[in-house]
Amino acid sequence: MTDLVRLEVADGIGTVRLDRPPMNALNAEIQRGLVAACREAEQRRDVAAVVVYGGEKVFAAGADIKEMETMSYTDMVDHSALLQDFTRALARLPKPTVAAVTGYALGGGCEVALACDWRIAADDAKLGQPEILLGIIPGAGGTQRLARLVGPAKAKDLVLTGRFVGAEEALAIGLVDRVVPAAEVYDAARSMLAPFVGGPAYAVRAAKEAVDRGLEVDLETGLEIERTLFAGLFATKDRATGMRSFVENGPGKATFEGA
């Protein structure tokens, strides 16, 4: 991993911390660091869920334009795979994820937030995909994940104009899930993930996979994905524990092992 990206773990929740002052510009080093942090978070059994956080002032103001400005077409052919790898690694993390957005989440920073399951934004946050203003388009998933999240019309509005949206508009169009005072963003993200600590880890993983994979296929295929994952959970200890607890004590009282 790199010093620009850290995985910090406390009380069952991992924090992937972006740390490249002043604006957390997403250069190649930080992109590779995100991939490594996601892989570590996936493997660690003491991590039930993950917050992605850029600090109190800014989430990530975009890609490192100085780094990209000198790239040729062939340079970008090679680099573009990494552009999608780091957001894909986050999107495929089989644990719940929340982007804790402060300040700016623009361009690649917005794409990092889009790769999370949920987004909590500061009331003064600004989000957007301004790549069009540089003569390019989003390249780390912005055209695809944004359209799936807010619909094609709203996505085209943001992508084709490059305009920024404030937190309240982002909430109204479904780009973020919750808006809180800036000082409360990180704590709110951790609170949102706290219920997953000590939960049925394989059921949570299966539920996330069923929704994400199901969105990419037709209904019948999605139902088959769900059926297969549902049946597979009958091989877990947590399924037996949860059902036995329900029969004996009623709902919501099971103590799971994550196994």
**pLDDT of 168-223, one tens digit each?**
999 999 999 999 999 999 999 999 999 999 999 999 999 999 999 999 999 999 99
List, by residue range, all CATH 1.10.12.10 domains of the chain.
201-249
Query: Residue 25 in 3-state DSSP?
Result: coil
Of 8, 29, 67, 111, which residue is the catalytic one? 111
Query: What tens digit of pLDDT does each residue of 40-89 get?
Result: 999 999 999 999 999 999 999 988 888 888 888 998 888 878 788 999 99
Whole-structure pTM over 0.75, yes or no? yes
Query: What tens digit of pLDDT does each residue of 232-255 get?
Result: 999 999 999 999 999 999 999 999
Contacts of 3 (CB under 8 A, 6+ apart): 19
Any idea which fold 201-249 has?
Lyase 2-enoyl-coa Hydratase; Chain  A, domain 2 (1.10.12)
- Choosing among 3.40.50.720, 1.10.287.3510, 3.30.70.3270, 3.90.226.10, the CATH entry for 5-196 is 3.90.226.10
Of 40, 56, 131, 224, which residue is the catalytic one? 131
List, by residue range, all CATH 3.90.226.10 domains of the chain.
5-196
Distance CA 52, CA 1 (A): 16
Q: What is the DSSP code string of 219-252?
A: HHHHHHHHHHHHHHGGGSHHHHHHHHHHHHH-TT
Q: Catalytic: 226?
A: no
